[in-house]
A and B are shown apart, each in its own frame.
Chain A
Amino acid sequence: MLNSLISGLRSLFYKENQERELDAELRFHLECQIEENIRKGMNRTEAELAAKKTFGNITSVKEKCREIRGISLFEDLWQDICYGFKLLKKNYIYSLIVILTLALGIGANSAIFSVIYGVLLRPLPYEKSNDLIYLKQQAPLLQIDNIGFSVKDLEDYRKTNHSLIDIAEHHSMTFILLGREQAEQVRTSVVSANFFDLLGVKPLMGRTFLPDDEKHGAEAVLILSYNYWQKNHNKDKNIIGKVFQMNDRPHRVIGVLPSIPEYPVECDVYMPTSACPTRSSKNTIENRSARMVNLFGRLKSDITVKQANSEFKTIAANLEKEYPEAYPKNSGFTTSLTELHQELTEQARPTLLILLTTTGFVLLIACANVANLALARLMSREKEIAVRKALGASKSRLIRQLITESIILTTLAGLLGLVLASSGLHLLIDFASRFTSRASEIQLDSSVLIFTFVVSLVTGILFGLLPAFLPENSLMKALKDGSAANSAIRWQKLRGALLVAQVSFCFVLLIGAGLMIHSLVKLQQVSPGFNPENVLAIRIRPNWSKYTTTPDYHLLYQRILDKVKNQPGISSAALASTYPLDKISINFGPANQTFSIENHPTSTTEAIPQVDTRLVSTDYFQTIELLLVTGRVFADSDNLDSPKVAIINRSLAQHRWQTQDPIGKRLSLDDGKTWITIVGIVGNVKQYGLNKDYVDELYLPLMQYSGAGNLLVRTRIEPANLKRELQKALYELEPEMAIPEIETMQAVVSESMASPRLTTILLAIFASLALLITITGIVGVMALMVTQRKQEIAIRMALGATQHNILWLILRKGIFLVAIGLSIGVAVSVVLTRLMSSLLFAIEPTDPITFFTVSFLLIIFAILACFVPAHRASLTDPMKVLKE
């Protein structure tokens, strides 16, 4: 192998020399033969002719010698490439169509692959990332998948487990950072001192946290994330040591992180647990039920996730025995461990795999189309190939030529595909960020390049090798005996088969897109339960540390509401702890609280009743136009001095009181210490997504509690136009207040559907692409068939066939092929669409309406595609054709 390579390389240099030697050697032989012939009595001309005849095909002998010497490999390749380019330039329309078609197919695949690689395949960018695990405390009997851990939980797990090297904690907060021009809301990760060591992250500047930073009463310190340092501090090299005011305490910057993806959430600053007012409060530290932190761990090298899991299950069971009031039997507390990588990507997996399947199909369809084109062109090249064979080209050499040509095409297509992929990549990153925090890692890197290269190469070899797949084809015959034979009819069969395959793949993609569209339409028809028109949702973050008592808060609430209501164009305003379809609450899920109903003690075997609780100010229901069913809404008189009251939604009423009237009944959120009277029932609202079921809801008057970071405003005019003025008014009122978000409620509703909508759009784009390619494929195959049967058609017409007969003759053939493709497509779809049932809303994966509509659509398009060549065939002038 190496020898032949060296000799091949050397012969590239000595090529001229060797070629001359070979020439001279053979010429000497010929001359000896000529002299011999002359001696036998022939004249010069006769002798030369006879010598050449005896010798045989000189070119072929030379070719054989070259092949043996290993010249061929490189020299021929170069020749093939030059020849290939020449041919492709000559047939530039063919080349362009092939390159474009394949570029679309390859580009789509490269783009989706870069997402798949960045999210699903690439290891996490941390030291020994396979050992990193995420801990989840679950309460399956309360249907809670991840309830979080309390500080006491953490201490016990840290102490007792033997599977993990260490456990680190994390929770996110938003604080106001002062000391810069404007009050700035910073997304803050509160972490244990060992957090960065556990992940293996080294600081870009300064240091990470030390155990002393976490001690009670230690100086508050901060580490900045790379992005925040770059964007908000202009990469300030002197940032270390700077002091900012947060939570009424000075915080000193001690480090900056390198540019790495941040998990579990992206944030601006990191602080140790001792610096977070909530985390360091006595209640959080001592109350075993105050579960608010996430835990990460690193497995010991000889421990598997399974072993660790079983140990943690045992620890959880022991804790349940020891502290029955913190882990009630009827909640079913347990702890489970998953690999961090899996935890971060689980949600994205089904969608991404469906997209990859889709683009894979698009590429297959594109390949079928190109193969069809290539076949058509090969037929017209039979003669050329036969001539080259006669001139001494070997069979393997000719096949190599064909493959070289197709690889040139697919390589160009691959390059163009990469350009297409990179231009659409930022859209895909946006898209992926809805499913996984790894989206920021997606890029067109070397693995994507390799993937694209391999796909291009395989495609090129496949469609270049096409003639070899024909058992009885004329090309092989042409290669063998050097004669050109017109065997178009046999080729037609293969082209028909390719067309059938195309139609069936196309159908599967159309069904996929069709199901998503139908499901999206259903989703958009769902009523959210309130009126999102003319409502603004504003997230407000006052500097809470300025307000310590409940009356302080109430005063602030009142000031905000008074100020906003007096703005022009505003009809009502309300404050609330959450609002429907808010992405933050969708992310966290229902804020479930356990409750008890007066005179309805729950047995220990029964699951504790739970309700999604929110605080709203008096005008909340009026502001979002949430319908009151019976009873009354809140009034300003429902305040700290009056009896506790609540409003429930219909779902809770039906669930807990069935036929009874809940108005006047009492419930308690603190095991009967205080009783709350139900005063009204309101309609159900889709709080957590239009595709989600209603949850049991409990509304409490804000003025009897405190904690509301969202301002809702109903406007008389287009709400988007009031954004700026409202923002200004709020800053005037509270200069230290951050306003991180201000959105129209319609945008919020639309945003809640963004991920199914984007998935639908992507699938629809790919399916339309597939349809377009397939249609052009049908037109191409039928048109060629018409050309090849021109004489037959002319004879039929001469014998009395009408234009109508001919039209039907061709149409029938096309419809027959499409019908076969369609039937296969239906069968494949029925099996494959089941994989996407998790993405569908309110329809079955075999939804008959979609199947019917898509079939109908495809048939119409196919008939139109067949009609064009069929119509042309029917216009044949028999006399003209027959005379030819």
Chain B
Amino acid sequence: MDYSSSSPKGSLGPNERAALMSNIKQQLDVAHAQELLQQVSEKCFKMCIQKPGSSLSSSEQKCLTYCMDRFFDAANIVSKAYGQRLQKELANAR
């Protein structure tokens, strides 16, 4: 359907709309990833760097690597559980 001809002046054509939507989505994804990264840094710094030395030791680097992977694991476990719970609530509400 051609929106541009039927809609009032100043509104979007289908291509413009699609571009705007994917732009918005992309920006949200980037913001979300940045948020996540910041949270990982915070948590893993706290857990892996107990006594900050003159440089990042190899054991600290190893801990950070593991910690990052585990944080993503935790995030996935949590959102899966949250999603399933929402689905359940949703089914009960109907």
Q: Do A and B bind each other?
A: no
